[in-house]
Amino acid sequence: MHYSLLKKLLADTPHYVELRAQTNGQHFLSLSDGDLAENQESMNSGLSCRTFVSGGWGFASSGLQNEASAKALIAKATKNAEFMSTANGPTEFVLPKDTFSFERENVEKNKMSTKEQVEFLKDLHTHASQKYSDLKSIKFMIVFHQLEKSLANSFGSHASHVLPRTSLYMTFSIEVEGEVTSLSRYHGHNGRPGDALPKKEALHKDMEGLYEQVKQKSVGVHATAGTKEVILAPAVAGILAHEAIGHPTEADLVRSGSVAANYLGQKVGTDLVTMVDYAHSFEGEELPVPVYIDDEGVEAKDAVLIDKGVFKGYMNNRELSQFYNQAPTGNARAYDYSDEPLIRMRNTIINPGKSKLEEMIASIDDGYYFTQSSNGQADLTSEFMFGVTMGYEIKNGKLGRAIKDTTISGVAFDMLSTVDMVSDELEIHCTGFCGKKQRMIVSHGGPSIKCRLHVGGR
C-alpha cells in the first residue's frame, strides 16, 4: 500500500496512530560440496497499526493489505491501547511531535536469476575444489533479505523505502589426524545479489586467505586462559562495539537497568575511543544499513555514544527521547510488518585512530591477535563474551602460531580504559542479524584496537 493511502486513513484519528505496510522477502541458497543443499524462498507481507491512547500503547497487525483491513486494525489497536491505559491508569505523557518524510526507490541494476546465482556458487566451488584438494568439505551460501516499507503517522510523517541485503558465506573444513577444523568468511552488502555479490576474482583471493587460515588453525594450539594484552581486528572490534557498548546504551535497555545509566557524561575509555551509531553515512559514504527515517516517522540521526572516551548519550525512540530529555536519534525499527518498532542499532562503528597494525603487534610481548569471531553476547552490566574462531599468538612483538577456537570476555566499560592503540584502518561488516526480541539487519565495524581482556582456553 502506498503511504498516500495510509495518510488518508489517518485523517480523522483523535489519538496518535502509525500505519506501516511492509513486505519482507528472503532467499537462501546453499551449496555443499558442489551440491545444491538448500534453495528456499519466502515472501511475507502485511499491515500493522500502533496507537497511543492516554499513555497506553496498542498494536495490531494482519496479513491483509487493504483499506478495510487498515480501518479494522486502527480500531483493534485503539482498543488494545485503551485496555493498556485502563490497566495502568491514564497518564499525561505526551509524545514529541517531530515529523520527517523520506522516499527512495532501490533500483536493481544487474538482475541475477536463481539459476545464475547457483552457477555463481558452482563456479566458486569448482575453483576451490580444484585448487584446494585436501579440503574435507567446501560450503557456500547466498542469503538475501529485503525489507520494503511504506509508513505514515498522524503527526504527518511518511516514508517509502527498501532495504535489500545480500550475504555470501564461505566455509572450508579440513581434517588433520581425525580432527575436523572449520573456518568461514562472510561478505554482506546493501543491494540485491546481482549488484551486491563481490566479483569472483576478489573471492578467489579471499578463498586463498581462508584456505591458509584453516590450515594454520588445524594445527593450532589452545589459547592460554587468563587476562591478556590483545589486538582485536576490525571484525572483532565491530562485534564489541555492537554487543558490549551498543546494547547497554539503547535507551529502552537503559530504562531497564543497564549499567550505562551510571556513566552518562563520565569518562569510560581512553581518549582514543570514539564510537557512533551512524544512521546512514560515514564521511560522506553511504553505509551498508542506510536508515534515513525510522518506523516512528522520526528522522534518523547519528547517535554519538562515546566521544574521546566520554560517554555522551543513548540511542532512543520517540517516547524515550522525551523521557531522557535527549534529542531524538530515530533508532526505532521493526523487522516484520507484525513487529512493533524497538530501539535498534544501524551502523555501529568505533572510529579509526592513527596507529599502524604492525606497530601494535610489535608493542606486545605476550598476547594474542584475534581476527575473527563467531558470535557475541553482552549483559546490561556490559559484561561481554565473544567466540573467537581465528587468531594468533603474539610473542615478542611478532605473530606466532594460530590458535584453536576460544572465547574472550570482559566488562566493556572497564575494558575501554585499557585501549592504548587504535589502528588507522576501517572495516565494516554486515552479515547475520542482531537479535533483540525481533531480528534486525545491522552493520558494525571499526579499526583494530589494542586492549586487555580475559581469554578463555586451557
Which set of grid coordinates corresponds to residue 274?
A: 570514539
Quickly tell me which residue has 573471492 as its cell: 203
Which set of grid coordinates corresponds to residue 446?
A: 571499526
CB of 372 to other proteins, least distance (A): 11
Which set of grid coordinates corresponds to residue 294?
A: 525510522
* Nearer to other proteins among residue 101 and residue 338 (C-beta): 338
* Nearer to other proteins among residue 82 and residue 420 (C-beta): 82
- Helices 114-131 and 200-218 cross at an angle (nearest 10°) of 50
Instruction: State phi, psi for 68 to the nearest 5 degrees.
Output: -65, -40
Give per-residue burial for 430-439: e unless 16+ CB within 10 Å, then b.
bbbebebebe
* Rounded Cα–Cα distance for residues 52 and 15 (Å): 6
CB of 24 to other proteins, least distance (A): 10
* Nearer to other proteins among residue 6 and residue 223 (C-beta): 223
* Rounded Cα–Cα distance for residues 233 and 449 (Å): 7
* Rounded Cα–Cα distance for residues 86 and 240 (Å): 42
Quickly tell me which residue has 568461514 as its cell: 184
* Nearer to other proteins among residue 294 and residue 405 (C-beta): 405
| Contact indicator for 163, 146 with CB cutoff of 8 Å | yes
* Nearer to other proteins among residue 77 and residue 306 (C-beta): 77
* Nearer to other proteins among residue 296 and residue 299 (C-beta): 296
How far apart, in Å, are the Cα atoms of 171 and each of 155, 162, 305, 312, 321? 48, 30, 35, 40, 43
The three-state secondary structure class of 366 is strand
CB of 256 to other proteins, least distance (A): 4
Q: Is the dihedral of CA 220, 223, 228, 232 positive or negative?
A: positive
* Nearer to other proteins among residue 42 and residue 133 (C-beta): 42
* Nearer to other proteins among residue 78 and residue 347 (C-beta): 78
* Rounded Cα–Cα distance for residues 176 and 211 (Å): 14
* Nearer to other proteins among residue 237 and residue 260 (C-beta): 260
* Nearer to other proteins among residue 126 and residue 375 (C-beta): 375
CA 409 to chain centre: 20
Per DSSP, what are the bridge partners of residue 394? 367, 399
* Nearer to other proteins among residue 1 and residue 422 (C-beta): 1
35: CB partners within 8 A, 6+ apart: none
* Rounded Cα–Cα distance for residues 125 and 253 (Å): 44
CB of 333 to other proteins, least distance (A): 16
DSSP state of 351: P
CA atoms within a 13 Å half-sphere pointing along the CA-CB vector of 317: 19
* Rounded Cα–Cα distance for residues 64 and 50 (Å): 16
Provide the Cα torsion 307, 313, 315, 317; round to 10°. Answer: -150
DSSP state of 433: -
CB of 292 to other proteins, least distance (A): 26
